[in-house]
Amino acid sequence: MSASAGYTDYTLQALAQTRNPDTLGWSIVVLIGLASYLYTVEIQARRWPVVFAGLGFLLMDLFNETVNGIVAHASGYAAIWTVTGPTVYQPLVGLNAEILFTFAIAGMGFAKVLPEDRHARILGIDNRLFLVTVFSMLSVGIEVALHFGGIFHWAYPWWGWPAVPLIVVVGYMPFYGIAAWLHDLGEQRAKQLRLLALVGGTDLALIVVFGPVLGWL
């Protein structure tokens, strides 16, 4: 994606470090090692529902991040969200390595707090819906803190502070929702793999078409 005078200052800052090898740092090795270790532990224990929950969460995030990058180019103004500041690597305008590896393991952590009884209720609410909502709200709370910290930016009035309910519902509930869904499929490997293939295949198609082919990302 080439820079344009029409972009916001934050977008130009993010574009300057997107896939810039000069930002690479050794900390990325730690992030890779941590994620690899956590997935290995779950795989060795054959806790496949937890593993699939983690992968589903990550793949849903990659979908959103790719669409966000497409919006940045198509608008000629800004992505829906943009990240700036020091990073060990930034693959997309709204995604850096630190966020990527956080989301790589967040779904597994969420799966581990899901009650074993799928039908149990919390405060009279379906426990899955309750936890998906609460974790989504907590995630948006972190985004708000990062925004006011000056390293996470929103450009549109309908997505950002104080219009955060939409971010909760559209930005995060699908992440936690698919993690819960994959987890609750239990030992239904075929269904889990088909769902992951659908989301992952969509991600790959978008990245290839709008990345190397069109150069929008």
Residues 1-15 pLDDT 10s: 555 569 999 999 999
Which tens digit of pLDDT belongs to each residue from 37-59? 999 999 999 999 999 999 999 99
Single-letter amino acid, residue 24? L
In sequence order, the 6+-apart residues with CB closer than 8 A to the CB of 41 are none
- Indicate the domain borders of the chain: 9-213
Total number of residues shown for the chain? 217
CA distance 88 to 20: 10
CB under 8 Å to 203, separation ≥6 — which residues? 59, 62, 63, 66
- Encoding tokens for residue 42? 């779950």
pLDDT digits (tens, 9 = 90+) for 130-185: 999 999 999 999 999 999 999 999 999 999 999 999 999 999 999 999 999 999 99
User: Which uninterrupted H or E stretch holds 125?
Assistant: strand 125-126
